[in-house]
Amino acid sequence: MKRLSLSHAAAAFGLFLAVASCAFAQAGRGQGRLTGKVLSEDGTPLANAEIKITSPVHQSLVFEARSDENGEWVILGLGTGMWRVEARSEGYVGGFQDVNVRQMERNPEVNFTLQKIAPSEAPTIQDESSFVLFEQGNALFAEKKYDEAIAAYRRFLEANPKAYQIHFNIGNALKEKGALAEAREEYELVMTAIKEETENLQGNELAAKTLAAQGETYLKENNIEAAQECFKKSVEIYSKDESLAYNVGEIYFSEGRIDDARAFFEIASRIKPDWSKPYLKLGYVHLNKGDLEKARENLKKFLELDPESPEAATVRNIIDYIDRQKK
């Protein structure tokens, strides 16, 4: 009987492994590995977040994991091809990403930053299975696929007609695609529903955000008076939310209305003095106005609060430039 040499045996075994590996991957399984993190908006790791990976081809295969105390997760055994990675955490809006998994090289990290659902923004769900449509709408909105996002939101609303909060999301998508009058109609539906629930809007976060969004549509139409009225009511209703005041400042800043932006960035800094972002924007506001001393003061404060920020190097260069101008 003819014996195989060691080299021939190794080659044969290698061929067997290659064929077996190929068959294994064809069944949807393989040696692919995905890792990532789940964080909240402020960068805090979200422990025990649910990670689920599914395939549009191998629909019976589901890989699941939970994030650890650092928000990190890992899943092994994935075959080559496209996989959908979903992340969910209680009290947060979930998200998903489609990832092309490879076997012979390291796959990029799949990270999620999840948005917290404010109590006033949580929709009234009648059909739990439809919640995936809400999450898909948010993911599509983040990808700037506004028409598809609106379609997902409306399908969710059909299954949950009492979830009036979804009109806010639809309004935002319409606003971003430039359908400003239609966006305001959606925002009005939200405000009407809120007023039916309560006579006193004070402290209602969703009402404040809806008014701010309405104001933005007016600003885009250069209806300054109507925009300012909405923004003023928004901050009056929810005067403890620094991010709301900051976002109004951002809207004005993007429109070139520097003095209006300054007023709202200052409100944000008063509400939360240890938050770095308003000081950064105040620095840029004063640079625009040519007040280098005020710009330096605010930029220095930004660095004190967030010295490791990705923008820190740029800010230090600006401060160095201002210092040279003073000499």
| 112-116/29-40 β-pairing | parallel
pLDDT, tens digit (0-9, with 9 covering 90-100), for 243-269: 778 888 888 888 888 998 898 899 889
User: What is the pTM (predicted TM-score) of this model?
Assistant: 0.55
Residue 107 in domain: yes
Q: Comparing C-alpha atoms, which of 242, 293, 282, 277 is closest to residue 259?
A: 282
* 14 inside domain: no
| Residue 5 forms part of a structural domain | no
- Is residue 22 in some structural domain? no
Q: How far is CA 16 from the centre of its chain?
A: 46
Alpha carbons 243 and 73: distance in angstroms, whole number: 30
Q: Is residue 285 located within the same domain as residue 323? A: yes
How many domains would you assign to the chain?
A: 3
User: Does 143 map to a domain?
Assistant: yes
Domain boundary among 181, 199, 225: 225
Decide if 159 contacts 126 (C-beta within 8 A). Answer: yes
Range of the domain at 221: 117-225
Exposed e or buried b for every residue in 215-236, given b needs 16+ CB within 10 A?
bbbbbeeeeeeebbebbebbbe
Q: Which amino acid is at 130?
A: S
Q: What is the pLDDT of residue 117?
A: 65
Worst-scoring range by mean pLDDT, 18-22, 24-28, 30-34, 258-262?
A: 18-22
pLDDT in tens, 107-130: 888 998 887 765 555 566 666 677
Mean per-residue pLDDT for 226-245?
83
- The arrangement of strands across the sheet holding 50-54 comes to 62-66, 50-54, 81-88, 95-101
Same domain, 302 and 251: yes
Let me know: does 206 contact 168? Beta carbons within 8 Å. yes
Question: What pLDDT sits at residue 247?
Answer: 80
* Rounded Cα–Cα distance for residues 19 and 37 (Å): 34
Flag whether 266 is in a domain: yes
Residue 325's φ and ψ, nearest 5 degrees, are -70, -25
Would you say residue 21 lies in a domain?
no
Query: Could you give the CA distance from residue 311 to residue 255 in angstroms, rounded to a whole number?
Result: 22
- AA letter at 211: L
User: What's the average model confidence in pLDDT over 97-115?
Assistant: 84
- Is pLDDT above 90 for 326? no
Closest of 28, 47, 167 to residue 153, by C-alpha: 167
Residue 276 lies in a domain: yes
Domain's final residue, options 115, 132, 155:
115
- Regarding whether 159 and 106 lie in a shared domain, the answer is no
Mean pLDDT of the region 278-285:
94
Q: Which residues contact 186 (CB under 8 A, 6 or more apart)?
A: 167, 168, 170, 171, 174
What pLDDT does residue 181 have? Answer: 96
